[in-house]
């Protein structure tokens, strides 16, 4: 088979998976980029599909409808890899039936998903259990295989607010069943409304639910289907206890869900789309993690507080699949308090009465902290949600204790970014779809070759087992990874609390052995704080370690904070003597900010990358950044009345002085230093650094006296500063790392004074260290 | 088909190769399988559109055994041979009928004169057969899948097991092959 044919086949297969014509088009646009012949070929084949099916049905010597039970009729069209045939036989299980070691007693519920019976388990112990039979005739074997893959993890869950899943199997009619701890309770929302629980009482229950979810997350289990009907409240000695049920079931039965089955099956299988996270709505299947549950918890909290879900379930379903996805992905829900103000008077009164409050008071109660807590859970970008369920619980607890909460109204910048995002979404979502598809395509092609290779040696009888084993292994590996991530997020949340209490040592200890790689605001805050704490005590290797993690995860902080983080790490590396680490560091800094449009960020990168002499490649990589800085700062007069401008120009001049010095342009370096020193403002480390560079430039130019004079002043200032305990400092008067920066240059200058010849050639500066 | 039967078939085939067994010893086993296969498919086929399953199986079997080629390596080989035999019979059958209809004489249908929409099922089978030859030239693996599925009447699952690949692979390749064949036929007519 030629390469093109393989390509055509891979594209055809990938496109078949896309039922949505627009998605197909976008995909083909991307994948065929410019190759019109290829595209025409694939499109011709796609177009031929339905006629081809008809053609083959017509001429098939055996008739084309396969035997029941082996292949559903739809399996002959490639776009269908889903197995949810209509039910062939009516339910035959009922009270009195015996299934494996269970005897069904009475029906206790009928959900979308199936029937729930109370059943009696006879062996190994006699007990009553809840027995759930999945209604749809779906691929029972794979449902059970998926369940088996997670069974070990499920068995490890042991929490008073979690109903355990005990067993799974298949009934004689081939339907999957799940056996769970029997919970006699009512939906949490119903319980709260019937008992007129006020907001605080509702929050108390909610916090317990969060703790249950946290427990599961720590075991690597994601619920995926948190909604009121899966959180039941029972009374223990008159005290309400919420119990989360159905763990592991959503994952086991949702595997085969695709676009085609969505409307017929989704509601029955998964339940209400109102609780579905944006990433679940994507149905990529790959991308679900613990923060999906955080989203659903947010919806639950929303409903507990307002009696409504952020998006109306009926409207979501009626709007059509694409529109529903768009809503979940892009539309900002109303804040809970705003939602209440839009209600009809009578509705509002009813909602308030159920919450034991007067309407206006209820609105005021929600406005502010509770609004923000809910909205933080519901963020479209899961990285902005609470990192962990415990983090959410703690914030609710803080609200209950009248402490300030972590969730905050978004800043103006944040809202602006949102606006940009909303307007870019058409483009961005197109790009995202295309990327996801290309990855999928890569996988498809890869699998295609793998399967080909495997075919030569595969022993057919082992094939099925092998696949199941692989599935299980993949699931286990995935589980371990989820567990690890959940653990990291948990540590970060705990460390954040310690940092807020200024308990840096404890925070630091919590982070030992953890090096997150996923960007997160909370994570960056913690690693920054702990790194600074180490740095201020001169523990440079530890500080460098924390800052090293920091620059990996500070992507949400914006250029200003992020570029300052590089100013933190660079000096720490040199103070611990890690010259090689510094080399890597400065390449990373240049790479990260190479195309920054901000002169201040450019100036910072130039400065921090030249703490040591640099080779010509590094210099030329820095040149565009230096030019950007020079353009902005060259013409700022010392008498300029804008303090901010003057401040930036002073720092910019220092960076440019260093840039010239490193290139051997000593006269220009001297010029920039004098510029820098001419600006007003009380920033001692900047002044000290400027004097040091000036001293080195003068020395290279043969002005020994001036060099000695400047260096002596700088040395005095720096010595005095480091005589005391270092403090964090401030932007205005200089941060600790600005001082360390100056001190590192001072060392270079000192050794230059001792060793350099009286008049040196420009090239000597390259090896002047 | 159940695993024990297929592995028994493989054993028999091996024994036959070494001269210990004859095709006739294999007959009860394989025949039962083929018969069952055909019967199940027949139950769902539209009346008049298919050959008699029994007749087909008999004919195929005779053809396979009669050809003297009894050195089937394993069941892959065996089922491929069976499917190819069925193909031969079906095509021969269609050609005969088509010749009668088109006034006889020609060995092949003249595809230039055929309008796909107006073609009889027999003509279509012949067109398919020709397209299949072109597919074989381009991608012999897919041709084999088509033969097993279309002429052999095997399910995806069965073909997957025989070829030792996943069901999904067969599903995918079958979908592609069908579109490819149809497109090929359409572009020729």
Q: What is the mean pLDDT of residues A723-732?
A: 81
- Report the chain A residue with the minimal C-alpha distance to residue B139: A1
Report the pLDDT value the prediction gives residue B48, as an integer from 0 to 100. 47
**Last residue in a domain, options A181, A209, A229:** A181
Q: What is the C-alpha end-to-end distance of chain B, expressed in Å?
A: 39
pLDDT digits (tens, 9 = 90+) for A202-250: 999 999 999 999 988 887 788 888 989 889 998 888 889 999 988 877 7
Query: CA–CA separation, B59 vs A646, rounded Å?
Result: 98
Of A45, A49, A61, nearest to B90 by CB-CB distance is A61
User: Which residues are paired to A104 by β-bridges?
Assistant: A119
Report the pLDDT value the prediction gives residue A693, as an integer from 0 to 100. 96
CB A131 within 8 A of CB A166: no
Helices B121-138 and B75-101: angle between axes, nearest 10 degrees: 140
Omega prior to A740 cis, within 30 of 0: no
How many beta-carbon contacts under 8 Å exist across A and B? 124
Report the pLDDT value the prediction gives residue B76, as an integer from 0 to 100. 63
Domain-located, residue A724: yes
What residues in B contact A443, CB-CB < 8 Å? none
Query: CA–CA separation, A750 vs A748, rounded Å?
Result: 5
Of B46, B139, B180, nearest to A63 by CB-CB distance is B46
> Which of A295-299, B14-18, B75-79 shows the highest mean pLDDT?
A295-299
pLDDT digits (tens, 9 = 90+) for A246-292: 887 777 665 444 444 444 444 444 456 788 888 877 765 556 788 89
Contact B178 A56 (CB under 8 A): yes
What residues in B contact A59, CB-CB < 8 Å? 121, 124-125, 128
Tokens 């933190």 correspond to what residue? A568
H or E segment and range at residue A742:
helix A736-755
pLDDT digits (tens, 9 = 90+) for A655-681: 999 999 999 999 999 999 999 999 988
Query: CA–CA separation, A758 vs A752, rounded Å?
Result: 10
- Name the residue among A754, A657, A669, A762 with its Cα closest to residue A704: A754
Report the pLDDT value the prediction gives residue A111, as an integer from 0 to 100. 58
Whether the pLDDT of residue B104 is over 50: the answer is no
What is the span of the domain harbouring residue A161?
Answer: 98-181
Report the pLDDT value the prediction gives residue A581, as an integer from 0 to 100. 93
Of A49, A62, A467, nearest to B153 by CB-CB distance is A62
> Which of A160-169, A369-378, B15-24 shows the highest mean pLDDT?
A369-378
**Last residue in a domain, options A162, A181, A200:** A181
User: Which residues are paired to A529 by β-bridges?
Assistant: none
Interface of A with B in 460-499 (CB under 8 A): 460-461, 463, 467
pLDDT digits (tens, 9 = 90+) for A536-560: 999 999 999 999 999 998 887 788 8
pLDDT digits (tens, 9 = 90+) for A131-141: 888 765 455 66
Q: Tell whether B41 lies on the interface with A, counting CB pairs under 8 A.
A: yes
Report the pLDDT value the prediction gives residue A699, as an integer from 0 to 100. 93
Whether the pLDDT of residue B50 is over 60: the answer is no
Q: What is the mean pLDDT of residues A694-715?
A: 93
Whether the pLDDT of residue A164 is over 70: the answer is yes
Q: Return the minimum-mean-pLDDT range out of A52-56, A533-537, B91-95.
A: B91-95
Q: Label the pairing between strands A176-181 and A98-99.
A: unpaired
**Last residue in a domain, options A181, A215, A239:** A181
Report the pLDDT value the prediction gives residue A593, as an integer from 0 to 100. 93
What residues in B contact A455, CB-CB < 8 Å? 163-165
Contact A455 B50 (CB under 8 A): no
Torsion of CA B60, B64, B67, B73, to 10 degrees: 160
Burial grade of B48 (CB within 10 A; 0-12, 13-18, 19 or more): exposed
Domain-located, residue A640: yes
Interface of B with A in 5-24 (CB under 8 A): 7
Helices within chain B (DSSP H only): 3-17, 23-44, 53-66, 75-101, 121-138, 140-146, 156-163, 167-188
> Which of A75-79, A272-276, B61-65 shows the highest mean pLDDT?
A272-276
Q: When comparing pLDDT for A711 and A515, which is higher?
A: A711
Domain-located, residue A336: no
- Name the residue among A335, A330, A415 with its Cα closest to residue A375: A335
Q: What is the mean pLDDT of residues A390-402?
A: 87
- Name the residue among A548, A545, A522 with its Cα closest to residue A534: A545
Contact B7 A77 (CB under 8 A): no
ipTM above 0.95, yes or no: no
Domain-located, residue A608: yes
Contact A58 B156 (CB under 8 A): no
Q: State percent of chain A over pLDDT 70.
A: 76
User: Is the torsion defined by CA of A527, A533, A539, A540 positive or negative?
Assistant: positive
Query: CA–CA separation, A533 vs A9, rounded Å?
Result: 58
Q: State percent of chain A over pLDDT 90.
A: 31
Query: CA–CA separation, A611 vs A745, rounded Å?
Result: 7
pLDDT grade, residue A332 (50/70/90)? confident
Active site residues of A: 225
Interface of B with A in 71-90 (CB under 8 A): 86, 90
Q: Return the minimum-mean-pLDDT range out of A277-291, A331-345, A452-466, B165-179.
A: A452-466
Please report the DSSP string for A514-553 in residue order.
----S--HHHHHHHHHHHHHHHHTT-HHHHHHHHHHHHHH
Of A1, A45, A60, nearest to B179 by CB-CB distance is A45
Q: What is the mean pLDDT of residues A633-637?
A: 88
pLDDT grade, residue A156 (50/70/90)? confident
- Name the residue among B181, B160, B180 with its Cα closest to residue B170: B160
Domain-located, residue A698: yes
pTM for the full model?
0.47
Query: CA–CA separation, A653 vs A657, rounded Å?
Result: 6
Q: Label the pairing between strands A239-244 and A127-134.
A: unpaired
Report the pLDDT value the prediction gives residue A665, as an integer from 0 to 100. 95
pLDDT digits (tens, 9 = 90+) for A182-194: 888 889 999 999 9
Whether the pLDDT of residue A80 is over 80: the answer is no
CB A575 within 8 A of CB A534: no
Which of A9, A17, A62, A81 is best to mutate for the B interface (most B CBs within 10 A)? A62
3-state class percentages of chain A: helix first, strand second, coil last, to nearest 5: 65, 10, 30
pLDDT grade, residue A628 (50/70/90)? very high
CB A530 within 8 A of CB A511: yes
pLDDT grade, residue A431 (50/70/90)? very low
Domain-located, residue A202: no
User: Two tokens at A45?
Assistant: 């084949």
Helices A684-701 and A643-662: angle between axes, nearest 10 degrees: 30
Contact B175 A463 (CB under 8 A): no
Of B50, B171, B175, nearest to A61 by CB-CB distance is B50
User: Two tokens at A566?
Assistant: 């590089």
Q: When comparing pLDDT for A67 and A411, which is higher?
A: A411
CB A212 within 8 A of CB A159: yes
Query: What CATH number is given to the structural domain containing A142?
Result: 3.30.200.20
What residues in A contact B146, CB-CB < 8 Å? none
- Name the residue among A305, A308, A302 with its Cα closest to residue A343: A308
- Report the chain B residue with the minimal C-alpha distance to residue A4: B138
Query: CA–CA separation, B179 vs A45, rounded Å?
Result: 5
Query: What CATH number is given to the structural domain containing A660?
Result: 1.25.40
What residues in A contact B46, CB-CB < 8 Å? 63
Report the pLDDT value the prediction gives residue A138, as an integer from 0 to 100. 55
pLDDT grade, residue B97 (50/70/90)? confident
Interface of A with B in 6-35 (CB under 8 A): 9, 12-13, 16
Q: Return the minimum-mean-pLDDT range out of A661-675, A687-701, B148-162, B175-189.
A: B148-162
Q: Could you tell me which residues come within 8 angstroms of residue A341 by beta carbon, excluding any fewer than 6 positions away?
A: A363
Report the pLDDT value the prediction gives residue A763, as an integer from 0 to 100. 45
Whether the pLDDT of residue A434 is over 70: the answer is no
Whether the pLDDT of residue A84 is over 60: the answer is no
Query: CA–CA separation, A326 vs A571, rounded Å?
Result: 46
Domain-located, residue A429: no
What residues in A contact B165, CB-CB < 8 Å? 451, 454-455, 458, 463
Please report the DSSP string for B112-166 in residue order.
GG--GGG--HHHHHHHHHHHHHHHHHH-HHHHHHHIIIIIS---HHHHHHHHTS-
Whether the pLDDT of residue A629 is over 90: the answer is yes
Report the pLDDT value the prediction gives residue A695, as an integer from 0 to 100. 95
pLDDT grade, residue A69 (50/70/90)? very low
Whether the pLDDT of residue B45 is over 50: the answer is no
**Rounded to a whole number, what is the distance in Å from the CA of B149 to chain A's nearest CA?**
10
Whether the pLDDT of residue A10 is over 90: the answer is no
Query: CA–CA separation, A245 vs B137, rounded Å?
Result: 57
For residue B130, count other CB atoms closer than 10 A to its CB. Answer: 18
Q: Tell whether B50 lies on the interface with A, counting CB pairs under 8 A.
A: yes
- Give the number of domains in chain A: 2
Contact A467 B181 (CB under 8 A): no
Burial grade of A709 (CB within 10 A; 0-12, 13-18, 19 or more): middle
Q: Furthest-apart CA pair in chain A: how many Å?
A: 105
What residues in B contact A1, CB-CB < 8 Å? 138-139, 141
Contact B178 A9 (CB under 8 A): no
Report the pLDDT value the prediction gives residue A73, as an integer from 0 to 100. 33
Whether the pLDDT of residue B69 is over 60: the answer is no
């Amino acid at each position: 088979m030629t390469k093109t044919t393989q390509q055509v086949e891979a594209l055809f297969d990938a496109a078949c998976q896309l039922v949505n014509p627009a998605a197909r088009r976008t995909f083909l646009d991307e994948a065929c980029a410019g190759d019109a012949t290829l595209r025409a070929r694939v499109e011709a084949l796609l177009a031929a599909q339905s006629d081809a099916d008809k053609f083959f049905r017509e001429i098939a010597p055996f008739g084309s409808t396969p035997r029941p039970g082996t292949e559903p009729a739809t399996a002959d069209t490639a776009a269908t890899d889903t197995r949810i045939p209509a039910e062939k036989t009516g339910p035959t299980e009922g009270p009195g039936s015996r299934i494996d070691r269970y005897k069904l007693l009475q029906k206790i519920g009928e959900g979308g998903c199936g029937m729930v019976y109370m059943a009696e388990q006879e062996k190994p112990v006699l007990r009553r259990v809840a027995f759930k039979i999945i209604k749809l005739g779906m691929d029972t074997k794979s449902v059970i295989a998926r369940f088996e893959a997670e069974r070990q993890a499920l068995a490890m869950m042991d929490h008073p607010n979690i109903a355990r899943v005990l067993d799974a199997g298949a009934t004689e009619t081939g339907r999957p069943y799940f056996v769970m701890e029997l919970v006699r309770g009512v939906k949490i929302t119903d319980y709260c409304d019937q008992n007129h629980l006020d907001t605080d009482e509702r929050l108390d229950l909610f916090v317990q639910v969060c703790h249950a979810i946290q427990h599961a997350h720590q075991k690597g289990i994601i619920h995926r289907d948190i909604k009121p009907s899966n959180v039941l409240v029972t009374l223990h000695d008159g005290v309400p206890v919420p119990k989360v049920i159905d763990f592991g079931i959503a994952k086991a039965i949702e595997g085969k869900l695709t676009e085609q089955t969505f409307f017929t099956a989704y509601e029955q299988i998964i339940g209400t789309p109102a609780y579905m996270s944006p990433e679940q709505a994507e149905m990529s299947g790959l991308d679900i993690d613990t923060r999906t549950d955080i989203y659903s918890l947010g919806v639950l909290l929303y409903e507990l507080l307002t009696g409504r879900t952020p998006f109306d379930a009926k409207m979501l379903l009626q709007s059509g699949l694409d529109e529903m996805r768009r809503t979940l992905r892009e539309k900002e829900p109303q804040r809970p308090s705003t939602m209440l103000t839009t209600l009809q008077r009578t509705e509002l009164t009813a909602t308030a009465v159920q919450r034991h409050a007067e309407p206006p008071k209820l609105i005021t109660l929600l406005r502010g902290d509770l609004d923000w807590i809910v909205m933080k859970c519901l963020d479209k970008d899961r990285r902005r949600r609470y990192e962990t369920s415990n983090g959410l619980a703690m914030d609710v607890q803080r609200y209950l204790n009248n402490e300030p909460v972590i969730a905050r109204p978004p800043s103006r910048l944040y809202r602006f970014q949102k606006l940009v995002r909303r307007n870019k979404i058409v483009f961005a979502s197109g790009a995202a779809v295309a990327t996801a598809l290309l990855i999928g395509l890569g996988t498809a092609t890869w699998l295609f070759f793998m399967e080909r290779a495997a075919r030569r040696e595969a022993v057919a009888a082992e094939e099925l087992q092998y696949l199941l084993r692989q599935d299980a292994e993949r699931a286990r590996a995935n589980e371990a990874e989820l567990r690890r991530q959940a653990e990291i997020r948990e540590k970060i949340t705990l460390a954040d609390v310690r940092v807020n209490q200024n308990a840096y040592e404890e925070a630091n200890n919590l982070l030992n052995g953890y090096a997150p790689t996923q960007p997160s605001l909370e994570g960056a805050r913690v690693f920054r704080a702990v790194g600074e704490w180490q740095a201020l005590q001169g523990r440079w290797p530890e500080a460098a370690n924390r800052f090293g993690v920091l620059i990996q995860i500070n992507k949400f902080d914006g250029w200003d904070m992020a570029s300052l983080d590089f100013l933190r790490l660079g000096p720490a590396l040199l103070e611990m003597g890690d010259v090689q680490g510094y080399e890597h560091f400065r390449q990373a800094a240049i790479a990260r900010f190479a195309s920054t449009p901000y002169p201040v960020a450019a100036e910072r990168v130039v400065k921090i990358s030249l703490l040591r002499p640099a080779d010509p490649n590094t210099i030329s990589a820095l040149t565009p950044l230096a030019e950007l800085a020079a353009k902005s700062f060259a013409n700022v007069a010392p008498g300029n009345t804008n303090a901010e401008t003057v401040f930036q120009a002073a720092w910019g001049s220092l960076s440019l002085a260093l840039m010239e010095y490193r290139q051997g342009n000593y006269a220009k370096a001297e010029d920039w230093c004098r510029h820098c020193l001419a600006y007003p403002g009380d920033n001692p480390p900047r002044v000290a650094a400027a004097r040091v560079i000036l001293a080195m430039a003068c020395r290279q130019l043969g002005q020994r006296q001036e060099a000695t004079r400047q260096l002596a002043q700088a040395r005095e200032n720096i010595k005095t500063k480091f005589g005391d305990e270092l403090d964090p400092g401030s932007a205005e008067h200089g941060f600790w790392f600005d001082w360390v920066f100056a001190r590192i240059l001072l060392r270079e200058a000192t050794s230059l004074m001792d060793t350099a010849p009286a008049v040196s050639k420009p090239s000597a500066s390259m090896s002047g260290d | 088909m159940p695993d024990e039967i297929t592995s028994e078939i493989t054993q028999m085939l091996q024994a036959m190769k070494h001269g210990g067994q004859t095709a006739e010893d294999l007959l009860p086993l394989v025949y039962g399988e083929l018969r069952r296969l055909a019967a199940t498919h027949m139950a769902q086929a539209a009346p008049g559109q298919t050959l008699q399953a029994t007749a087909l199986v008999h004919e195929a079997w005779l053809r396979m055994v009669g050809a003297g080629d009894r050195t089937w390596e394993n069941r892959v080989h065996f089922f491929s041979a069976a499917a190819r035999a069925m193909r031969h019979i079906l095509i021969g059958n269609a050609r005969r009928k088509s010749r009668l209809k088109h006034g006889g004489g020609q060995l092949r249908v003249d595809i230039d004169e055929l309008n796909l929409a107006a073609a009889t099922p027999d003509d279509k089978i012949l067109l398919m057969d020709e397209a299949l030859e072109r597919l074989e030239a381009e991608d012999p693996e897919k041709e084999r899948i088509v033969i097993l599925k279309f002429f052999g009447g095997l399910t995806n699952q069965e073909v997957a097991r025989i070829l030792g690949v996943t069901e999904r692979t067969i599903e995918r390749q079958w979908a592609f092959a069908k579109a490819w064949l149809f497109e090929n036929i359409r572009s020729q007519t």
